[in-house]
Structure formats: C-alpha cells, structure tokens
Structure 1
C-alpha cells in the first residue's frame, strides 16, 4: 500500500523514495491512522443506531446517548494514559501496535452475535483507540528534524487528510453493511479495516524514525513496582465493589455508566488544578495556564454539542429525516460522512483565509476564533430546533441535517486546529508533552456532561433542552469575545 502512494524525491536519481516529498514513514502512519479512523468513525456512526434498533439492543434513546457518551468520553480520557505508556513503558511504536491489536479484538468481540459480550468489545475498542491516539501523532513528529523542519506542518496536514478519508468512507461502508445487512457484520468490517491498518503498520514500520522504538523515560524498578501495586489495588477495589453490587441484586447499567462519566468529568478538573497549583511554574506560565482554562472550558462546551451530531441528531434523523433521493433510499448513518467531506473541502479555505487576513494584519486572534466557533455550534442547534418543531409524526428534508453539520464543521475549523496550536504555545515547559493529552480531555469533559444529563432523564431531543444548549454555546462564545482583552492579557506573547 505504502509504495503505491510514494514517489521518488525530486533531488537526485536513485534517492530514497518519499511520500509526496515527505519521509516515507509518513505513508505508513497515514495509512495506519486512516484505517484506525475508519474503524472508529464506523463505530461512531453505527453505535447509537444499533443501541436503539429492535434488531440491536433495543434500548431507549436516553440510555443509548448515555452509552455513546461514555464510549466517546473514555476514548479521549484514555489518550492521557496512552501517552504515558508510550513515554514510560513500551515506546510509541510498540504501544501503537498493541493498541491496534486491542482494537481489532474489540471489534471482533462486537461482531459476535451475543449481547452478553457487547460491552466487553466496546471497552476493548475504547482502550485501544485511547492508546493509539496519543502515540501515532508523536511518531509523525519523529519523522522530521525538529519543530523547525519546513516540511513538518505539511506532514501533519497530510496526516489530517488521512484521518478524514477514513472518517468519510466509514459510514458509507460500515454504516451500510451494519444497517442494511447485519449489525454484527458491520462491526466485523470495522475489525477488517483496523486489521489492514495493523498489517500496514507492521510491514512499513521499518520506515519509521528509530526514536519511535525507544522508551523516552522508562520506569525504573521501584516505579514499576509502585505502579503495578497501585493498579492492582484499584482493580481489586473495583472488582469487590461490583461483586457486592451484583451479589445484592442491585446492579443496573447505570452502575457502570455513571462512575465512568463522573471520572470523565473529574479527571480534567483534577489535572488542570494540579498544573495550576504547581509552584515550580513561573509567573508567566501561571498566567498562560489561567488563560488556557478559558479555552478548555469553551472547548468542552463545544464538544458537548458537537459530538451529539452522531447521537442526538442521528437518532432524530433515524425517525424523522427523509433519507430518499430520487426514490433511492440511503442509510441514515451516511449523514456522518457529511462532516469529514466538509472538513476536507473547507479546511484549505480556512487556512488560506487566516493567511490572507494575516497579510492584511486583520487575522482574528485565538480568543475571537474560539468565540466564533462556540457561536457557530450554538447556531447549529438553533437550526436543529426548526426540523424538531416541523417533524411531528412526519419526515423533514435531509438538508436540515446537512445545514446543522455545516455549521458545526465551520465551528470545528475555528476551534479544533486552533486549539491544538494554542495548546502547544501555552503549555508550561514542564508539561510540554502532557498538554496535548490535556486538550483531548476537553472532549472527555463535554461528552461526560452530555452523558450525565441523558442518564438522569434529560431528553436531549426535546426542543427546550436543545434551545438551552444552543443558547449556552452562543452566550459562552459571546462571553469569550467580551472578555477577549482579559484573556489575551493572560496569554502573554501568544497571539
């Protein structure tokens, strides 16, 4: 696969092959990430629909949204320990290979025609995705000669394209097979995709940087023993607790979802508070952390609404969206391909626009971009109110869904890449490698809030709730904009 996407370097005849002018190892990581995202976004598109389907688990919408939120929250929560395993235990390359194996195993368990093993498979996929996410991006960075390498930004752009190709194709294939043929066959197709990615990674790993195989800061014997002891202690506590709950006959699904959602909400708060209280940080770093908290909270509100595009909005579409074009019926899971195709179409436009405005000395700063992103995601839910009120017992045009995803995608382009950039710029030197994991915790926090609301009876598909969420996002965006000078002051020299 990699060879078909590589070409000779333009420098000298017989020189080493490159991937569109980039190190050949980027082809390996591009294809691995593409197939991993194929399995992940296929799961994202299929999961809520399977949970409510009569031929699936036949759960109510509230429970389905809660389970989906737990899954999404856990994936991004585990990106933090995933990075730790890469840094301290196995190294990025080995961690990625193991993670891919875990994902394949998880999807194969989901492919079994048994409800009893479903949640075990879901757990495996979440663990594998969390382990892989933090490490594969690190290995992309290893291919270049430091941050000053002029090819570095272009390499990450190509890598980002791979993500969106996988995300675009997944609902069209996995969604179609799952909805139209057999749910478990759809999960099996996700396993096959990740297996392709694993094979690609193992075959092409010789093209990766050597440092990807090394453990940057391995645990010493004492640390390893202490970590193992603490892990086993917490595992024992969990086993004993759930044994008591099951033994007394009081166990329900809520006993599993609520603790995970509370952890997803508590961990980001604890991590940010620990960094903020660190007395080793300079006054400038402390100020930047205070400013960063604004961005983190804004991002959490954004992801809380944005990720409902595959749950709340998708479940509405399943019942009330007209999914026929010229008499031809398409699966409702196909709506999940709208966002990645819009990202691929609009990302170059956004990048050009920021550069154009920068040359005119009119580029909005990071605070303004975040405010705009929040406002746009709020507007997407104000748009959602229209088909919600129009539907009744009938069907609404699919273009309402496309408009919702369009607003969210433009908001994503204002927040997601900008957030990644500002995270690297505002990170204290001591937490330079950890802050990217902290950024992903914003997704965890947002999904955890949505999951808790759904768990405790809030119908996220009611017009009143959607209106409150929309207003919250718009008001949060307005607040960020109004306090932009204060936040900019906290940011110091970061634009």
Structure 2
C-alpha cells in the first residue's frame, strides 16, 4: 500500500463521536487510562516497598538510596522515550510502538508481582522502562495525528486525553495503598491486570477509530541504512555489556557513579537531539526557528517536573513520616496522597479545556501558559514549607497542608503539561515528529535525574530551606518566561 497523505488519514478518522472530538480519542483515552493505572499504582507504593523493612514485606533499603533509585528509575522511564520515538519514526510506526510497549510493561509488572528478591525487582524495572519508552510518547503522537494542524480543538483534545491519564492515576494509588497493607506484590499484580485491559481496548478499537493514524513510518530506514544501523546496535550492546562486566568487579560502576552518569546523559541527550534535528537537511528554515522557540519551553518543563515528580519521592516520604495519618478517625495510607494530584486534574481539566476553547484567540499564548505552570509549581513548595517554618520541630503535620500543596502543582500541570504535548506536535519538524515527542518527555527525564541528586539534600533540618529554594527558583523563572514570551512567539512562526 502506498504511503497515505496526512489529509487521507484524517478523512478516514470519524471526526465526531467523543465529546465533540475525533472518535480515535476514545481509543487513546482508554489505552492511556489503563497504562497510567498500572504505572501509577505501582509507583504509589514502590518507594515504600524499597525502604520498608523485610519483615514488613519491603526490601529494607536505606531511605535516601530508595529516593534516589525512585528518581533515577523515573528518569530512565522517560529517557527510554528516545528509543521508542526512534523506533516509531524509522521502523515500527507509532501504533505498533504503543502495542509492543504495552506488552513489555505488562510483563514488567508481572515480574514485580512475583515474591522474590531484589533481582526480580531490577528485571521488572528494565521491562517497564523499555515498555514505557515505546508506549507513552507514541500514544501522545497519535493524538496529534487526529487533528488538522489549524484545528482549535487540538489543545482541548490533549486536555481530555490528559484527563484519561489522570483518571487511571487517581484510582490506582487508592487500590494499591489498600493492598500494600496485605502485600506489596498484590498491588503490583493489579498493575499488571490494568495494562492487560489497556492492550485489549487498543487492539479491539484501533481499526475502526484510528484507521491508519499511527501506521505510517515517518522517516523509514533505507535498505542501505538497515545493515549499518543494526550492526551498530549489536556492537553497542556487546561493548556496553563488556564494560559493565569489567566495571562492576573493579568497583568503578557503583550506585553513585551510575546516578551521576544518568544525570549527565539526561541533559546531554536532549542537547544532542536539538543539534541533530536543527542541522538536519530534512529540517527547513521555519522548522529550525520553531526548534529554537522550543528550547526555553523545554527548560521550563524541566524545572516544573523537578517539583512535580517529587510527589513520588520527597512528598511520599513526607506523607509517611511527617504527616498525621490519623485524620478525623480515618487511618490514611501514605500512598493515597498520590491520588489527590490526578483527582484535582480530573476536576479541573474539563474547566481548562472549556476555558481554552472559550477564549479562542484571546487565550494566553504557549510561553505564557508555561510561565503560569511554573508559578503554581513554585507556590506548591512554598505552601509545604509553612508547617515546618511555623510549627514545632518534629511535630506531625495536618494532612491538609500536603493536599493544598498538591492542589497548586496540579493547577500548574494543567497550564503546562497538556499544552506542552500539543505544542510539541505543532513545533516538531515533520521528519522527527515522534522523536520530538520523545524530546518532550526527556524534560521529565532530566528533571528526575536532577532529583536523584537533590533528594540527598532533604532532611528534617533542611526541610524549610529545601522547599523554599526550589520553589523560589521556579517562581523567578516563571516570571522571566512571562516577560520574554513575545520573543519566543516570534520564533514560532505563526504557531500560537
């Protein structure tokens, strides 16, 4: 079959049928719902599983080590998106990448659900990292293919898609938090079931709702390239394996050195991506200008996720050790606090989707929305430092402070994250569409790699300084971004 044009793909997708949006949004909404159900259910209890004593069903790791592992694992999850984006753009197409990614994630959760030792823990992490790298950026890319470039529904569509993500993320920590009292492995098992349901939904509805969206390989490998690429990949695997086999016995590859290496790669890889895409002969002058506009948005996203992703590390520890979990006669699970963030997004996402459509051309532009996201994220850390600043040392904190902090970061997310997904599909060079979406997720990878170092600075004694410094920097950069937004808009060449 000859390669279909974008217009031909759009014509075969039912353009109405899901809240006034293309029917394919239904398929992607529920696929991502179940994938996020599995991921966030696992993530809600993972840090506790790592540092709880073996007698309590955990691995008995040091708390600081557990926080760093959690951050570096999150970084690798999003960093693997570059592999998924490359495979989608050059080998599989985004639709196949979504399916194969879901299969790997499911098996990763199954491995984590098997009671065993720390070896099974790391096997599951590898499978989930690779699977998420295939699924997550490519599902978002397919959403972008459902709409014409000038369709005003696009931002609203991504907000609805984002609501699906957060519905899964809301429900799963509640279930996992209950099950962790019985066994951590029961919670991980439910995550595996969730991913299986997501795969069933995707396979059963994609033909009717998506048509050929996501099936085209944007920049396929030429026959002359395949042998060289596959040989290079095989050699790289052998060399890396040999280096690891030598470095570990020699003591060169330790946990700290690995964290440092991932931290360097998390910033080096997106920098290289920008340079390669900018200098590629397949990127025209307009696309080059849009890539330059994307750089400050990427930096703002990194800082936002530095704060937001501490919900599963520092704030999870805060919920477990600093918060009064006996509230109004109810014994709270520390995992349940991770449901508040998606709950707020579920409540507010339709309002934001309606607001952007209602405002039309009068809505804030993309950089201004990013600046609002940073401001709210910064305020969330200012809020959570107040109990430590005004309260007694070591006193347990009313859980409503933590809920209020989470509310602010959720508002910030709705200003920045769905808008960033939509902006990425608009600003991406045509030859690098899926890979540019992977680049967007690399902002999260960079943030969590940075967090792997930052979490070492947190303690009861440094709590106020820790939250105040990070929150203050976010607010300052948010204000700066707002004032330079007209300059960024000029480089976007008509994209608003």
Q: Which residue of 2 aligns with 1:437?
A: 438
Deviation at 1:311, TM superposition (A): 1.0
For the 8 Å contact 1:320–1:391, the answer to whether it is kept is: no
Q: Which residue of 1 aligns with 2:162?
A: 160
Q: Which residue of 2 aligns with 1:204?
A: 205
Q: Report how many residues are paired.
A: 475
Q: Which residue of 2 aligns with 1:317?
A: 319
Q: Which residue of 2 aligns with 1:46?
A: 45
For the 8 Å contact 2:76–2:445, the answer to whether it is kept is: yes
Moved more, 282-291 or 18-27: 18-27
Do residues 78 (structure 1) and 77 (structure 2) align? no
Task: Decide whether aligned partners of structure 1 residues 211 and 66 sit closer, same or farther in structure 2, where only a CA change above 3 A counts.
Answer: same
Task: Decide whether aligned partners of structure 1 residues 320 and 22 sit closer, same or farther in structure 2, where only a CA change above 3 A counts.
Answer: same
Task: Decide whether aligned partners of structure 1 residues 491 and 53 sit closer, same or farther in structure 2, where only a CA change above 3 A counts.
Answer: same
Q: Which residue of 2 aligns with 1:405?
A: 406
Give distance in 1, aligned partners of 2:36 and 2:140. 13
Task: Decide whether aligned partners of structure 1 residues 72 and 209 sit closer, same or farther in structure 2, where only a CA change above 3 A counts.
Answer: same
Deviation at 1:466, TM superposition (A): 2.1
Deviation at 1:25, TM superposition (A): 5.0
Q: Which residue of 1 aligns with 2:428?
A: 427
Give distance in 1, aligned partners of 2:32 and 2:285. 39
Do residues 342 (structure 1) and 341 (structure 2) align? no
Give distance in 2, aligned partners of 1:147 and 1:202. 27
What TM-score results when the alignment is normalised by the length of structure 1?
Answer: 0.87
What TM-score results when the alignment is normalised by the length of structure 2?
Answer: 0.87
Q: Which residue of 1 aligns with 2:5?
A: none
For the 8 Å contact 1:312–1:460, the answer to whether it is kept is: no
Return the match for 1:265 from 264, 267, 270.
267
For the 8 Å contact 2:25–2:161, the answer to whether it is kept is: yes
Deviation at 1:29, TM superposition (A): 3.2
Give distance in 2, aligned partners of 1:393 and 1:135. 45
Residue segments in structure 1 that go unaligned for 5+ positions in a row: 1-14
Task: Decide whether aligned partners of structure 1 residues 272 and 460 sit closer, same or farther in structure 2, where only a CA change above 3 A counts.
Answer: farther
For the 8 Å contact 1:52–1:60, the answer to whether it is kept is: yes
Q: Which residue of 2 aligns with 1:302?
A: 304
Matches within 5 A, 1:341-420: 341-357=343-359, 361=362, 363-389=363-389, 390=391, 392-420=393-421
Matches within 5 A, 1:93-492: 93-113=95-115, 114-141=117-144, 144=146, 146-147=148-149, 156-178=158-180, 180-207=181-208, 208-210=210-212, 212-213=214-215, 215-249=217-251, 251-278=253-280, 284-357=286-359, 361=362, 363-389=363-389, 390=391, 392-454=393-455, 457-459=456-458, 462-463=462-463, 464-492=465-493
SS in 1 for 2:495: coil
User: RMSD across aligned C-alpha pairs, in angstroms?
Assistant: 2.9
Task: Decide whether aligned partners of structure 1 residues 132 and 485 sit closer, same or farther in structure 2, where only a CA change above 3 A counts.
Answer: closer
Give distance in 1, aligned partners of 2:72 and 2:183. 24
Moved more, 376-385 or 390-399: 390-399
Deviation at 1:248, TM superposition (A): 2.8
